[in-house]
Amino acid sequence: MEALIAICLLMLLMVFGIPVAWSFAGVLMYLVWAYDVNTTTLLLQGFRSLDSVILLALPLFVLAGYLMQSGGVAERLIRFMTQILRGRKGGMGGAMIATSGVFGAISGTATAAVASIGTIMIDPLSERGYPRGYSSALLGMSSLLGILIPPSITLILFGVVTKQSITALFAATIVPGLMLMFGLMIFNKVMARRILRETPERAAALARQQSGESGWMSTLRALPALMMPVVILGGIYGGVFTPTEAAAVALFMAILIGFFIYRDLTLARFRQSLLDAGETTGTIILILLFSFMIGRIMVAEGVPQDLTEAVTRVTENTVLILLLVNAFLIFVGMIMDDLSVTVVIAPLMMPLLVAHGVDPIHYASIVACSVVIGANSPPVAPILYMACRIGKVSIHQAVAPALQLILFVAMPVMLLVTFVPELSLFLPRILGF
C-alpha cells in the first residue's frame, strides 16, 4: 500500500510542477517515514550505488550532445539529408526524421535533437507548406529516435539500475529504432500527399533549395559528422572500447569537429555547453541517487514480489501480462518524464516479466518504446511541449498529429517489439551477449 501511495505521490508532485529531482526527494522522505528506515545506512548504500564506471559515460555523452548542438553538426547533417531527399514530395520531412536518427546515434539525447534540429528545420518546413502543428509533432517523435538508436542515455540509466550490460542494451534497440525511423518516414510520405499544396511560397523555397550547394559539397561537409556514429558504434561493437570510453571518444570528436573542422564552436559556446551539461548531469545524478535509495527501500520491503503476486492473481497469461505492462508503462509515461519511468517504474516491473520468461534485454526495448510514446502523450509530454515551443505553435495544434503518429507508427512498433522478441534479441546474440 505504501509503495502505491509513493508512486501516486510522485505523479502528483510532478503534475504540480515540482522539479523532478525534488519530487523524488519528497517520495523518499515519505518512504523513510512510512517504513521507519535507518537513513545513515540508506545514504551509504545510495552513494555506493553511484560509484560506477558506467556512470562516467553519462556526463561525457551529455556534454558531447551539447557541443554538437552548438558546433554545427546538426546543420551539416540536415543539409546532407535534404540533398539526398530533395525533389521528393515529403522529402524535407523525411530529411528531419533521418537527421534525428543519425544525430541520435551521436548524442544519445532527445532534448539535444529537438533543440538543434528543430531550430533549423521548422521554418523551412513551414515555407514548404507543412503545418507548424504537424512539423512540431513530427519533430517531437523523431527526436526520440535518440532513445532507441544507440548510444542512449536512457539505456545507460536502465543498465545501471537493473545491472544489465550496456553494450547488449545498445544492440537490442537498434532494430526497433530503425523500425520507428522508417515507419515515421512512410507516414510522413503519405501525409505529405494530403497536406502539401503547390503555393508560390513552396515553389520559391524549392527553387532556393535547387540552387543551393551541390550534393557532393554537402556530402563532403557532412562527412566528419557522419563518421561520428561509425567510430562510436563501430568501436563499441568491435570491442575496441567500452561504452564509457566511447563517450570520451564522442566528446573528443565533438570538440575536434566543432573547433577545428566546422569552426562553429567558439569559446563562449563551449563555456555555455559546459554549464548546460553540468546542470543536466547534476539533475540526473540527483534523480539517480534518490531513485537508488527508493529502490533499496522497495526491495527490502518486498514490493516487486508483492506486485508479481498481485498481477499473477489476476492472470497467468503471458500475453495479457505483457499488454498490462505495456498499458501501465504508457500510462505512467503520460504523467512522468522518461527518467522517472526508466529508473523507478521499469525496475519494479522487471521481476514480474522475468518470472514469465521475458529476457531483461528484451524488456529494455519494451521500456524504451514506451518512453517514446509517453514523452509525446499529454498531459506531461515534455518532448512534445519542447517541440511546440521551438516550432512557435500552440500545443493544441500539435496534439492531433502527435496522436496519429503514436497510433499509426509508435504503437505498432511497440507491439511488434513486445511480441516478437527476436527483433530485440538477435543482434545481442550475434554479438555474443
**DSSP per residue, 181-214:** HHHHHHHHHHHHHHH----HHHHHHHHHHHTSS-
The set of residues, in sequence order, having a beta carbon less than 8 Å from that of 245 and lying 6+ positions away, is 235
- What is the pLDDT at residue 404? 93
Task: List b or e across 286-300, with b for residues whose CB sees 16 or more CB atoms inside 10 angstroms.
Answer: bbbbbbbbbbbbbee
Task: List b or e across 129-147, with b for residues whose CB sees 16 or more CB atoms inside 10 angstroms.
Answer: bbbbbbbbbbbbbbbbbbb
Residue 431 DSSP symbol:
T
Q: Is residue 357 part of a domain?
A: yes
Q: Is residue 206 part of a domain?
A: no
Residue 260 DSSP symbol:
I
Question: Distance between CA 341 and CA 346 in Å, rounded?
Answer: 6
Provide the whole-model pTM: 0.84
- What is the pLDDT at residue 422? 93
- Nine-digit cell string for 383: 518532448
Torsion over CA: 171, 152, 27, 328 (sign): negative
- What is the pLDDT at residue 286? 84
pLDDT tens readout for residues 183-194: 999 999 898 888
Query: What does 61-124 look like in DSSP terms, one character per residue?
Result: HHHHHHHHHHTTHHHHHHHHHHHHHTTSTTHHHHHHHHHHHHHHHHH--HHHHHHHHHHHHHHH
- What is the pLDDT at residue 196? 67
pLDDT tens readout for residues 1-55: 676 787 778 777 877 777 777 887 888 888 888 888 788 878 887 787 777 777 7
Q: Is residue 211 part of a domain?
A: no
Q: Is residue 214 part of a domain?
A: no
Question: Distance between CA 333 and CA 374 in Å, rounded?
Answer: 4
Q: Is residue 180 part of a domain?
A: yes
Q: Is residue 207 part of a domain?
A: no
Q: Which of 149, 111, 130 is nearest to 375 (CA)?
A: 111
The answer to whether the CB of 367 falls within 8 A of the CB of 341 is yes
Question: Distance between CA 81 and CA 92 in Å, rounded?
Answer: 8
Chain centroid to CA 174: 13
Q: How many domains would you assign to the chain?
A: 1
Task: List b or e across 150-175, with b for residues whose CB sees 16 or more CB atoms inside 10 angstroms.
Answer: bbbbbbbbbbbbbebbbbbbbbbbbb
Q: Is residue 215 part of a domain?
A: no
Q: Is residue 208 part of a domain?
A: no
Question: Distance between CA 363 and CA 214 in Å, rounded?
Answer: 44
Question: Distance between CA 43 and CA 73 in Å, rounded?
Answer: 41
Instruction: Return averaged pLDDT per consecutive 10 residues of the chain, 433 residues in all.
Output: 75 75 84 83 79 80 82 79 69 85 75 78 81 91 87 87 89 93 93 71 53 65 82 82 85 89 89 88 82 79 74 82 88 75 81 88 92 80 82 87 93 94 92 78
Please give the residue range of the domain that contains residue 165: 7-196+220-430
- What is the pLDDT at residue 93? 85
